[in-house]
Structure 1
Amino acid sequence: MDKLRDLLDSKKSEAARMIDEKEMMASLKGWVKGQDHVIDDLTRLIRLQWGKEKRKRPIANLLMLGPTGTGKTELCKAMANYLFEDEKNMLLFDCSEFSGSEGKTRLIGTPTGYVGAESGGQLTRPVLNNPKRLIVFDEIEKAWSGIFDLFLQMMGDGRLTEQGSGRQADFTQSIIVLTSNAEHEAIGKIQNEIDDLQERADAVKKHLRDSKIFRPEMLGRFDRVYVFQPLEGIVIAEIAVLKMIKSAQAYGLELEYVAPELVFDAMSKSDKLKEFGIRELERVIDEMLADGLLAARQIGAEKVKLVLDDEGTLVIEPVDEE
């Protein structure tokens, strides 16, 4: 009986290690638009690394490059939801908040004898409590240079010792992502000039090394360097549709299918949508649709649709289910 139980547990463990590449790819592409070249390679990499029984380093160390608002953070959220079952299992660090030497202490904790030592580090303590994490360091170029020593250890050995408690945080069940929009114009030029993915990645790494943004040993820790393309046109409209669906859900409403072409047409006429960048898109959409969504909810509607009024403005209308 014990042998049978061990065999069943082994089979369950094996199943838990398997990733359905097509399913994961579809899930990520449902969240992030315009970056299929990244998602196609990323899902294969994660599937292969996820299936390993033993690891001495994180599942993957990734560097995501590109202009602001191209979907780097959104892709990380999508990965956390798919791989770790909840976006809450993603740790997101804004590296502009770690620009001084005290940033290292904030991440791995205060030494024994100092105030706050028992609380642990903002990085190490959550990983000690749950090592299955997606960990994102956003705009890494803004971090204090001394923090990179921590990254080298975390990405290379899969371990960090928390000051104060002396406990070792295990990162071998985590995915580490560093994002940057530094040198995005030069990197975009490399992307346009080189078609081969491996040659392009090597050229990008060389540029980052020559520009002294990353130390050579740091670049050597990355399993992949992904360059995100600028978003424009119908792709932005597709992203807007996704955000509209989420906005409706926040009011407990279902949004009927919206053709991206309809949104694209409205965007081309809207001064608000022209004025703000992609990162402001969600806020602009909320401002445009909130009154209509709230009004629909107040009359008991469960489903709404998006239409263009006579002035070409997007408006919300309740859907009659009868």
Structure 2
Amino acid sequence: MPFINDKLKYYADERNRKEIEEKQKVPDVTDSPADQPIRKIQTRYRFDVEEVMKRLRKRILGQEHVLKNIENMLKIVWADITDSDKPLHIGLFLGPTGVGKTEIVRVLAEAIHGNRESFCRVDMNTLSLDHYAAALTGAPPGYVGSREGSTILDKEKIEGSYSRPGIILFDEIEKASPQVIQTLLNVFDNGVMTIASGEETIDFRNTLIFMTSNLGTKEIQSFADNKFAFLAKQAIYFFNPGNWGKRGRETVLDHLIKRRLESSFQPEFINRIDDIITFNWLERQTLFEIIDLLTEQINRKLLRYGCQLELDVSAKEFLVEKGFDKKYGARTLKRAVRKYVQVPLAELLIKQTAREGVSYIAQRSIAGIEIKIMHTI
């Protein structure tokens, strides 16, 4: 029975791997300082903070203040000096849609684990009712499914391994029911979630916890569109000249976000979050950088055809005109690239008019964007 044999071999290999990782653990420090062995400083985590940040800075544009916070967090985690009884990190990402809140978690998972999908993602809009808390902790005793201890959480991705932390993303946290929030509060406190059956636990103490929220999006957009009109509505700032200075933007937005958070979550929940970071809306110049990034991704796909694509300035300006929308962020830009670049490019490939060893250039035309042969590679 080859299937059974393969499964047995898989479990044996996993058991051997875990035993090897256990042997590599740093010995526990004894209670007596005199008994502590003299050894070089070492860390259990094997990811390189500098390499992780290089990848993040290449893929996440226009959010340098966010990346700086992520870098500081990774340094603390890598040094292994976090509270051992709580999750490694609890972060909340706020800001407009389409600015990279979810993408930054994907890239972080790719940089640490080598796979963009190596994290557990929970869409909190699916847990909007109180009884949906059972989707996290399993059905309580006496209810259907209680013995199975089923949960939507991926234990392996959450717990990670000895050398790499687990990652979980709670997307759109503001849409979760109060009961679900209370369940998360318990996790933030002790780092462990017990499945309702009582037979299994999920350990979050080796986990990076991220949450995203669109709280304050309308107000942030209003501030971006007309700063002075927005300030006029915020009397506490309108009558305080000190908030009109160089740091007026940060002061107003911080105050705004704080008010929205306090109206949506209990203080004890907010108080357990390590970092609350507001993403910037995308500026026009950042969109040109995103277009270059999207073009690079297209060219990686074109390697199989032996050709490549370049966008000239006129084509980029056209895409920015069609795709610049602060309300929807980079998503409208991606739709513009898909419509005006990828569709005509796909037509070339389908008709087999695209030739190997040829470089194509996308230029603005009366109809939109036209792709022409630039030169031979």
The reply to whether TM is greater than 0.5 is: yes
Q: Deviations over 1:167-200 (max 9, x none)?
A: 1101122111111111235567699978499988
CA contact (8 A) 2:311 2:361 kept: no
Instruction: Report the TM-score when normalising by structure 1.
Output: 0.79
Aligned: 1:228 with 2:257? no
| d(CA) in 2 for partners of 1:35, 1:121 | 34
Amino acid corresponding to residue 171 of structure 1 in structure 2:
F
Counterpart of 2:105 (choices 53, 76, 82) is: 76
| d(CA) in 2 for partners of 1:197, 1:79 | 28
CA contact (8 A) 1:57 1:157 kept: yes
Q: Give the drift of 1:156.
A: 2.2
Aligned: 1:37 with 2:92? no
Counterpart of 1:23 (choices 51, 76, 79) is: 51
Distance 1:50 1:226, change over 3 A: same
**Equivalent position of 2:348 in the other structure:** 295
Q: Which moves more between the two structures, 24-33 or 46-55?
A: 46-55
Amino acid corresponding to residue 94 of structure 1 in structure 2:
D
Counterpart of 2:114 (choices 85, 91, 110) is: 85
Q: Deviations over 1:288-313 (max 9, x none)?
A: 31341463474563775442043383
What percent of counterpart residues are identical? 22
Q: Which runs of 5+ in 2 are unaligned?
A: 1-19, 27-40, 224-236, 238-242
**Equivalent position of 2:290 in the other structure:** 239
RMSD of Structure 2 on Structure 1 (CA): 3.9
Distance 1:166 1:257, change over 3 A: same
Counterpart of 2:333 (choices 260, 264, 281) is: 281
| d(CA) in 2 for partners of 1:152, 1:95 | 15
Q: Secondary structure at the match of 2:178?
A: coil
**Equivalent position of 2:317 in the other structure:** 265
**Equivalent position of 1:103 in the other structure:** 132
**Equivalent position of 1:144 in the other structure:** 177
Instruction: Report the TM-score when normalising by structure 2.
Output: 0.69
Q: Which moves more between the two structures, 20-29 or 276-285?
A: 276-285
Distance 1:247 1:202, change over 3 A: same
Amino acid corresponding to residue 204 of structure 2 in structure 1:
F
CA contact (8 A) 1:94 1:138 kept: yes
Q: Give the drift of 1:287.
A: 3.0
**Equivalent position of 1:218 in the other structure:** 269
Q: Deviations over 1:9-61 (max 9, x none)?
A: 468x9465255443322211111111011101211222212321672222210
Distance 1:62 1:84, change over 3 A: same
Q: Give the drift of 1:223.
A: 1.0
Q: Between Structure 1 and Structure 2, whose CA radius of gyration is higher?
A: 2
**Equivalent position of 1:310 in the other structure:** 365
Instruction: Tell me the matched-pair count.
Output: 314
Distance 1:198 1:183, change over 3 A: closer
Aligned: 1:62 with 2:91? yes
Q: Give the drift of 1:133.
A: 2.7
Distance 1:51 1:144, change over 3 A: same
Q: Give the drift of 1:87.
A: 1.4
